[in-house]
Structure 1
Amino acid sequence: MPERQSSRKDAVRNREAVLAAADALFSRRESPEDVTMADVAATAGVGKGTLFRAFGDRAGLLRAVYEARLEPVRQAIEDGPSPLGPGTPPRDRVVALLDAVLCFKLDNRRLALALEEGGGGSPYRAEHYERWHGLLRAVLEQVPDLPDPDFTAHALLAATRADLIEHLAAEARVPRERMRSQLASYTTRVLDSGPPPGVG
């Protein structure tokens, strides 16, 4: 039993070391593509086999770093009190949730882009997307007279896709605060639009 506990502690310690190393390397390099699994293993002081056992592949490592960086946002959503928390009126909470997604992706542009562009099938089946969509849909269901919360959640999240954010930030040079204001304004218009003619 003590050996098994020691082995589990080693695995947890190795995982934490790998995540810290990957996070530091991704932060320093221009693009996540510039970071190899060998770089991460060497920086963390573990063998490449440990890395692959813990995360499966490069995409698994990217997802794990993304999730680790997202943890403070998730805690604010679940634990409140904050504009993201369950005590906030639904309309305000929808705006706050989308603003949180936008800010997170602006702060983690390269990582978000690599994750959304990296193979593995449809980005809409990714765990992080399904979680955001489910949360947003649940809040939209609380907004009176809003038709089809499921589609509306997809449509609003489309405005926070990493490739769109990268285009707006890097190519169109839209300032961060303007982007936030535009998204909030767009979201409010969607929430205020009501059902189109012939629907409802």
Structure 2
Amino acid sequence: MQSSGAKRELPLIGGPPRERADAAENRRKILSAARRIAATGGVESLSMDEVAQTAGVGVGTVYRRFGDRAGLAYALIDERERVLQAAFLHGPPPLGPGAEPIERIGAFLSALVDRTEEQADLLLFAETSSPEARYAGGAYAAYHLHLATLILRLRPDADAHYLADALLAPLAANLYLHQRRTLGMDVERVKAGLDALIRNLGRTDPAT
């Protein structure tokens, strides 16, 4: 059996492991119940006991499958995450292969803004469950590798690993929600700011 820490990790690539039919059905019922509860009362309303009761399973089953509330939040995030990964790995350009690196970087960050907007509260809960939660899962590693690869194609002399982190930093859920809700920035302003960073990244002339 996997550890609860392993269960929290978002997938890097590929599909979920095969499950017994009864285990898969329990997972489906638990996630369906959790999704309804979160949609009605927000992430703060997620309770392992209430999820178990709504799903019609024992609370021990919920804990064994997801570990804790953060693990449950990551599982709710998982489906949307797989859609994004499939799009930037195998989808049509400019998000998928076939476009120039700078176009793919822009399309990827725009898609990541949309993805963050859709599940910002869930992401905030999951990413702040521990100091390293945002960086420990497979999703961040996939994003970072994708951006670093594109940056190296665009600027072979660049510190691609640092710049990949720098481009992902504004999409941390706590900063994103601060900009959206506290500072009142709309989604298009966030995207425009990221576009400015990308344009600067693509410059080949010396800074003046």
Range into which the TM-score falls when normalised by the shorter chain: 0.7 to 0.9
Tell me the distance in 2 between the aligned counterparts of 1:36 and 1:138.
40
Alignment match, 2:35? 23
2:91 aligned partner: 80
Gaps of 5+ in 1: 1-6
Once the two structures are superposed, residues 14-58 of structure 1 have per-residue CA deviations (whole angstroms, 9 ceiling, x without a partner) of 11121222122222223x122111121122221111111211222
Aligned residue identity for 1:72: V
Match of 1:12 in 2: 24
Q: What residue number does 1:3 align with?
A: none
Partner Cα distance (1:84, 1:149) in 2: 19
Q: CA deviation at 1:163?
A: 0.9
Q: Does 1:117 align with 2:128?
A: yes
- Code of the residue aligned with 2:58 in structure 1: it is G
Shift of 1:123: 2.8
The equivalences for 1:60-79 within 5 A come to 60-79=71-90
Instruction: After the TM superposition, list the runs of 4 or more consecutive aligned residues in structure 1 that deviate by more than 4 angstroms.
Output: 193-196
The structural deviation recorded for 1:83 is 2.2
Q: How much does 1:155 deviate?
A: 0.6
Q: Which stretch of structure 1 is more off in the superposition, 135-144 or 122-131?
A: 122-131
- Report the AA paired with residue 24 of structure 1: R
Structure 1 residues 113-172: Cα deviation after superposition (integer angstroms, max 9, x where no partner): 111111263532233212211121122221134511111100110121111110111111
| Residue 5 of structure 2: aligned partner | none
Unaligned ranges ≥5, structure 2: 1-18
Q: Structure 2 vs 1, CA of residues 45 and 194 (structure 1 numbering), >3 Å: closer, same or farther?
A: farther
Q: Which has the larger displacement, 138-147 or 46-55?
A: 138-147
Distance 1:21 1:82, change over 3 A: farther
Within the candidate set 169, 179, 184, 1:173 is matched to 184
Take 1:25 and 1:193, find their aligned partners in 2: how far apart are those partners?
A: 50
1:99-118 matched pairs, under 5 angstroms:
99-118=110-129
- 1:61 positional shift: 1.3
Q: What is the root-mean-square deviation in Å for CA atoms of aligned residues?
A: 2.2
CA distance 1:189–1:45, change in 2 (3 Å): same
Give distance in 2, aligned partners of 1:18 and 1:176: 32
Q: Would you say 1:133 and 2:144 are equivalent positions? A: yes
CA distance 1:18–1:168, change in 2 (3 Å): same
Percent identity over the alignment is 33
Distance of aligned partners of 1:117 and 1:81 in 2 relative to their CA distance in 1, 3 Å threshold: same
The residue aligned with 2:198 is 187
Matched with 2:175 is 164
Q: What TM-score comes out, normalization by structure 2 length?
A: 0.82
Amino acid at match of 2:35: D
TM-score (ref. length: structure 1): 0.85
Larger Rg: 1
Cα distance 1:45–1:95, how it changes in 2: closer, same or farther (>3 A)? same
Report how many aligned residue pairs link the two structures: 190
CA deviations 1:158-197 (Å, max 9, x no partner) are 121111110111111111112212212222222326788x
Q: Does 1:46 align with 2:63?
A: no
